[in-house]
Structure formats: structure tokens, C-alpha cells
Amino acid sequence: MYDMGMAQSVAAEAAGKVSARGVQVFYGTTHALRDVDIDIADRAVTAFIGPSGCGKSTFLRCLNRMNDTIPGCRVLGDIRLDGEDIHDPRVDPVQLRARVGMVFQKPNPFPKSIYDNVAYGPRIHGLARSRADMDVVVEKSLRRAALWNDVRDRLHDAGTGLSGGQQQRLCIARAIATSPEVLLMDEPCSALDPIATAQIEELIHELADQFSVVIVTHSMQQASRVSQHTAFFHLGELVEYGDTETVFTNPVDPRTENYITGRIG
Amino acid sequence: MSIPQQSLFASDPGTARRRAAEARFRAYGLGAVLVGVAALLLLLSSVLSSGLGAFWQTRIHIPVTLAGAALDPLGGRDPAAMRKVTTIAYGKVIEAALRDAIAQAGIELPLTDAEIAAMLSKEAPAQLRNKVLADPALVDGTIEVSLLANGRIDGYLKGRVTMDSAQLDRNVTPQQLLLADRMLARGMLSRDLNPGFLTAPDASDLRPEAAGLGVAILGSAYMMLIVLGLALPIGVASSIYLEEFAPRNRWTDLIEVNIANLAAVPSIVFGVLGLAIFINFAGLPQSAPIVGGLVLTLMTLPTIIIATRAALKSVPPSIRDAALGVGASRMQAVFHHVLPLAAPGILTGAIIGLAQALGETAPLLLIGMVAFVREFPAAPPEGFFDPAPALPAQIYNWTQRADPAFVERAWGAIIVLLGFLLVMNAAAILLRRRFERRW
Ligand SMILES: Nc1ncnc2c1ncn2[C@@H]1O[C@H](COP(=O)(O)OP(=O)(O)O)[C@@H](O)[C@H]1O
Ligand SMILES: [Mg+2]
């Protein structure tokens, strides 16, 4: 059962950056997500947990309308960014995605140089006026993604030539180069070793100073380490949402408890 | 059941059977490759042995005195006036010069004047006339000229004509062959490289030795320009639309099926279509590269579309997601990221489509690209509307002629065509390598 009171208390304590009401997603005839209501706080990390196939990625993609690009996918319900309906016909998904950045599960750098990977977003959105401006943006993004020291001497080498962890950090640098207000991360550490994971968690922590970060993760430890709020999805439903500490130590729904203690999933 | 424990070094019956099966399979594979290579070698060697001769031509080298009385009767050296003198006059000059040269060389054979004159190509007077008209100051002088020998004499030097065959041949006598031997020994006759085969226009049935591929190569080149200029942009644009933008519905399915079917339509059908639509309905000229180019464009489009769509499909979707994720529009995602990655595949497809079009013959026969054309077409774009044959149609045309000398030329033209195809395919491979290296 979804605890409405909990969600409202979270919404009350931190102004909701993104709020969703009654979100339903269909892939053709498959009902992948049922009636999700959630308020995602600004300048905080929200973790989505739940067993595979429960709709975490699907919901994440609703938030920047990446589901628009999947043929046969229908999204119903109301999603607002700063109170503005993102499905309003006046909204250009391109603009939305510049404000709601995304890091994918599998590192997917462009087959271009490291520099061009990071510079791409600012370039198409006209965020840097000169080459020097761009250099600053690229360096800043790479530094924040904890990649600068690894690549400062080979900015013009292929981004695809980096190791898996470096590639993921490059993708994060690319996503934050446009200074999005919300950063969506879909299992960003699933392909990484513990050291790279720790670096990215550190980074998420820092990013939360400025952005609203939403992270999908399969690791309970990660969720409890990095997030302030946790949402538990199960079979297309948002089962429980609240403070991370509460969800982990004192879950309301038995399904949450079962999942956290390793009995389902 | 578990695998019984035994030494790793001992082989069990299962292993032996598996190895035997693998060895057999490898042998089949290798055999298949060898058969393929052997067939290719056979083809190449037969093409080369039959066709290389066309790149050499027998010429007769004699001094010719250009009597002004015969070649410039008015004496003004005025090109317009000299143009009135026909090849008949030049023919007489050459024949006399040849008789003199033979006598000078001390060759004595029972030959009539006509037989001596027949040593030369019927094209020889025109050769000399062109030379004199280009430089009227030559008149009244004596110049060394190299004139085309008759096709039969050329055939004798290439082994096509023998003393025995000459006995039965109305066009050549054994005495003429003897004369050729003597002239060869004295350096008056030689077999040289023949650039004219690539640059000269076609020639009539009676002068195979003068026939060249110049006009046909131009005709084919014009057609390829048209195909490239139309099929590449149309094909790539429609593929991008279908692959990246079009909704998946009944209509796009229908289009998809039709493109696949179009690729399988026999080429002759495109020829009939071209004849009906472009010539009979639209009124475009016959035998013109524009019509051939349009027909071949229709034929090449499905090839390019299929190759382009395959290339676009092979770009991982994660790249599109990445671009869209940072806020690129669909078009930016396609043009900045997908298209550059698909470019090698698209180029390869385009060049292979073009190579196919270059070798296509059947539809060209229907729209009159087998015509006998000696005039070079003008420069494009006007030249697209001038009549010109195409390379493969020229090959077909030459195989239909009576004189066996044309068969050698047809094989030679096949070498030229294969050469172009080889260059195009090599270009496809090179371009692909080059683009792929830029990750
Ligand atoms: N592109 C798609 N087409 C059809 N069904 C999909 C697609 N993506 C996800 N689904 C379905 O939606 C459900 C939720 O998937 P997803 O959001 O990827 O789960 P999670 O990220 O939580 O593992 C699954 O049942 C999955 O099969
Ligand atoms: Mg997922």
C-alpha cells in the first residue's frame, strides 16, 4: 500500500522540484507503471529501488520524456517541473531535456573526442560564447565528474577509448555540462568496480548541492549511502516513498521490508 | 550422467568423432573457397587472354609526300577550302606513298595496287586528313606518318589470322600476309600500344581497327553522374526519414515491402518503364545519357536505400539516447551522431549500387543506348541530352558485329569495364577504412 501521508510530509519539508500525479505508462498493451504519485525534492538525492522490471527506468524516462522516443509507449498522468506541466503542447522535449539531464545504465559516450563529448550539450544549446568559454565549461564538468586528472592530457583522444568507469564519468560530465536542474541516473554504477563506484557516489553527493539528483540503483547500500529519499517500486507500483532512513529501518509496507531484507527481488 | 574421469591426454571416442567432423567441415569450406577462386581465375584469364590484344594496334610507318596539287588545289592553305578535299584524295596520296615505300624497301611480291592499298585501314585517309587540316603548313612537305593497318593484318600479327584462314578469306590474301612479314622485318610495320581504344569513338563494321570506347566511356560517366546526383540524395534522405522519423504503421510497412520488391524487379522491366515514361511520355531524346541515368537511378535507389537503412540500423540506439538525453533534437541526433557513424556503410552501399548500375545492360538496350554514335557528347549538362552509347551496351553491340576483330574489342571493353568496377570497389573499401578509423 502506498502511504500518502508519507509522500505529503516529504513534499512539505522540501519544495518539490518534480511532482508526478497518477502517472501510468503503457508499452503497447503492457501496463508497465500504475498510478505513480511522487514529489521529488530539490537539492537532494532521491533513490529508486525495486526488483528488476518493476518500472524504475520507465518512470525515470518519464521525467525527461525520453519515453517519447520509444515507439508504442504511452504516458498518462501529470508530471510537473517547477509546477509546469511537462506534457503541455507548448513544451519542447528538447528544452526539457536540457534542464533534466540523464545518465544511462550503460556508458554511452559519443564516438568523438573526450572534449567534444562534454562540449556537445553546451554547443547545441549555445551555452559557451567562445572557445575559451567552452574550455572552461569542459574543464569544470570534467573536474566535477572526477575525471579531469585522468584525461587532462588527452582531451582530444576518443572518449570510447576510456575504461568503463571513466566512460561513465565522462557521460556524467557530459550530462552536467549543460547545468541541468535535475539529473536522472539509471543504475550509473552497475558496470563499475568498487573504486569507480565510490568516486561516482562522492560525485553524486557533491552534485546534490546544486541539482536534484534521482538515482536508480540495485544496491541497498548505495541507496542508503547516497540518498536522502527513497522510493520503492514493485510490479509497476510505487509501494513506498519516504526518508531513506525511515524506509530502510522502519518500512511501512511488508513488501518493502521483504525486498530490503532480501526476501523478494 | 557425468563425464567419466580419465586422463586429459587420453582421447575418448566422442572427441575423435568431433574432431573428424570439424576436419571434414573445414575441408568442405576450403574446397568451396578453392572452387570459387578457380572460377574467378578462369574467368579473369579468359577475359585477359581474349581482350588484352585490343589495347595494342598494328600501324604502318611510311613517309608521305603531301602534294599540294591534290590536297590544296586552290593553294591558299585556307582551312575552309582544304576541308572540301575529301578522304578519297588523301587515300590516293597514301596508297601511292605506300607503294613507293614498298618499292624503296626492295620488297618484291606479286601484289596488285588494290591489294597493297588494302594493307591500310579505311580509316587511314581520315587520319592523315585530320592531321593536315590541323596543320595546313605540312602541305607540300614530306612527313613520317603512322597509319592504322587493316584489321586483317592486325589480326595476323595477333595470331587471329593465319595463312590458312587467309586462303578462305575474301578480305585478305596470303600474299598480303607475306608482305606484312617483310614490312615487319624492315620496321615499316609494328604493333604498338593503342590509346585510341580508350579515346576514339566507335567505327563502322568495315574498320574495326579504328573502333574505340571514347564515346561509350563518356556516356557511362554521364549516366553515373546522374545516378550519383539523384540516387544518393534521394536514397539517403528517404532512408533517414523511414528509419529515424517515420511512424511505424501500415503505410510505412507497405513502403518497406515495396522497396524490398523494387530491388528484386528484373532490370529489363525498368528499361520498358524508361521507354514508356521518359521517352514516349516525357519526350526525352532516345540514346541519351539522361534517360539511361534516370532508369539506372530507379534501379539503384532500392540498393542505396537498403544499404543506408542497414547502416543506420547498425548505429547503436544508445548513441541516439545519449544525444537526445543532452537535449539534442531528433535531427541533431541524426546529423551529428548517427549519420557520421553510418557514413561508411552508406558510401559502400552507394558505390556498390553505382557499380551495379555501371554494368547494367538490359534496360539500356531498350532505350537505345546501343546506338552507333561517333560524335562526342557535349560537356554536361547539355551533353546529358546528346546521344551516346554506354560501356556495357557497346560491348553487346560489338559482339553482334560480323568481323571477329570486334570480338577482341568487345573483350577489351570488358577489361575496361571490369577495371572501372575494380576501381570503384577499391574506392568503397578505402573510403570505408578511412572513415572507420575516425571512430
Ligand atoms: N521499450 C520497452 N518496450 C516494451 N516493454 C518495455 C520497454 N521497456 C521496459 N518495458 C517493460 O516495462 C517494465 C518495466 O521495465 P523497466 O522500467 O525497464 O524496469 P526496471 O528499470 O525497474 O528494471 C518491464 O516489464 C519491461 O519489460
Ligand atoms: Mg532499469
Which CATH number do you get for residue A136? 3.40.50.300
Q: Tell me if A189 is assigned to some domain.
A: yes
Cell reading at A14: 522540501
* Residue span of the structural domain in which A33 resides: 10-260
- Give the Å distance between the CA of A53 and the centre of ligand 2: 7
> Could you tell which of A24, A34, A58 is best to mutate to test the pocket of ligand 1, judged by most ligand atoms within 8 Å of the CB?
A58
Residues B377 and B300 in one domain: yes
What is the predicted pLDDT for the residue at A11? 41
ipTM score for this prediction: 0.87
Nearest CB to A104; choose among B247, B248, B321: B321
Task: State the pLDDT at residue B136.
Answer: 86
Residue B431 lies in a domain: yes
Q: Examine the pLDDT at B256 and tell me if it is beyond 80.
A: yes
Per the domain annotation, does B155 fall within a domain? yes
Residue A241 · residue A214 · CB < 8 Å: no
What span, in angstroms and rounded, lies between the C-alpha atoms of A3 and A254? 12
* Residue A37 falls inside a structural domain: yes
B98 DSSP 8-state letter: H
d(CA B130, CA B274): 39
User: Are A215 and A225 a contacting pair, CB within 8 Å?
Assistant: no
> Above pLDDT 90, what percent of chain B?
51
Predicted confidence pLDDT, tens digits, chain A (265 residues): 444 444 444 444 445 889 999 999 999 999 999 999 999 999 999 999 999 999 999 999 999 999 988 888 999 999 999 989 999 999 999 889 989 999 998 899 999 999 999 999 999 998 888 999 999 999 999 998 888 999 999 999 999 899 888 999 999 999 999 999 999 999 998 878 888 888 889 889 888 988 899 999 988 889 999 999 999 999 999 999 999 999 999 999 999 999 988 866 5
B393-403 pLDDT tens trace? 999 999 999 88
What are B187-223's pLDDT values in tens digits? 899 999 999 999 999 998 888 999 999 999 999 999 9
B222 shares a domain with B189:
no
| B156 and B234 housed in the same domain | no
Does residue B110 belong to any structural domain of this protein? yes
Q: How many CB atoms lie within 10 A of CB B8?
A: 5
The pLDDT, as a whole number, for residue B227 is 95
| B250 in the same domain as B145 | no
Statement to judge: residues B136 and B229 lie in one domain: no
Q: Determine the distance separating the centroid of ligand 1 and the alpha carbon of A24, expressed in angstroms.
A: 13
The answer to whether residues B239 and B312 belong to one domain is yes
DSSP notation for B99-140: HHHHHHTT------HHHHHTTB-TTHHHHHHHHHHH-GGGTT
Residues of A with a Cβ under 8 Å from any B Cβ are 64, 66, 69, 71-72, 94-98, 101-104, 106, 108-112, 120-121, 124-125, 158, 160-161, 171, 174-175, 177-178
Q: Which of B144, B161, B194 is the last residue of a domain?
A: B194
Q: Is residue B96 part of a domain?
A: yes
**How many residues can be counted in chain B?**
439
B320, A69 in Cβ contact below 8 A?
Answer: yes
Same domain, B245 and B106: no
B293 domain residue, yes or no: yes
pLDDT over threshold 90, residue B141: no
CA distances to A146, A169, A173, A189, B213 from A150, rounded to whole Å, are: 8, 11, 13, 18, 62
| Distance of alpha carbon B143 from alpha carbon A5, whole angstroms | 112
Average pLDDT over residues B314-334: 92
For residues A202 and A209, is the Cβ–Cβ distance under 8 A?
A: no
Q: Which of B248, B324, B337 sits opposite A97 (nearest CB)?
A: B324
Same domain? For B369 and B246 the reply is: yes
Please count the structural domains in chain A. Answer: 1
Query: Do B255 and B401 sit in the same domain of this protein?
Result: yes
Please name the member of A94, A95, A110 whose beta carbon is closest to the beta carbon of B319. A110
**What count of CB pairs under 8 Å joins A to B?**
67
In terms of average pLDDT, the best of A248-257, B24-33, B315-324, B426-435 is B24-33
Q: Which residues surround ligand 2, an ion (CB under 5 A)?
A: A 57
Q: Supply the residue whose CA is at minimum distance from atom 4 of ligand 1.
A: A27
Q: Is A164 contained in some domain?
A: yes
Using CA atoms, how far apart are residues B296 and B240, in angstroms rounded to an integer?
22
- Which grid cell is B165? 584462314
Say if B33 falls within a structural domain: no
Same domain, B190 and B232: no
Domain residues for the domain of B69 are 52-176+185-194
Lowest mean pLDDT among A62-76, B10-24, B413-427: B10-24
Residue A19: in which H helix or E strand, if any?
strand A16-27
Residue A1 in any domain: the answer is: no
> Is there a domain that residue B35 lies in?
no
In a domain, A2, yes or no: no
How many structural domains compose chain B?
2
In a shared domain, residues B189 and B237:
no
Give residue ranges with CB within 6 A of ligand 1. A 27, 30, 32, 50, 52-58, 70
Q: Are A198 and A187 in contact (CB under 8 A)?
A: no
How far CA B297 is from CA of A262, B112, B423, in Å, comes to 63, 56, 21
Contact A50, A213 (CB under 8 A): no
* Integer Cα distance of B354 and B300 in angstroms: 7
CATH number for position B219:
1.10.3720.10
The confidence score (pLDDT) of residue B169 equals 86
Q: List chain A residues with CB under 8 Å of B335.
A: none
Nearest residue on chain A to B328, alpha-carbon basis: A94
Residue-level pLDDT at A69? 86
In whole angstroms, give the CA distance from residue B182 to residue A244.
108
Q: Is the pTM of this model over 0.90?
A: no
For residue A119, the SS3 value is helix
Q: Measure the CA–CA gap between A253 and B205, rounded to whole angstroms.
A: 97
Closest Cα in chain A to B244:
A69
Predicted local confidence at residue B419, as pLDDT: 93
In this predicted structure, the answer to whether residue B437 has a pLDDT above a threshold of 80 is no
Domain-located, residue B104? yes
| pLDDT given for residue A265 in this prediction | 52
Residues of A in contact with B318 (CB under 8 A): 104, 106, 108
**Mean pLDDT value across chain B:** 89
Say yes or no: B316 and B418 in one domain.
yes
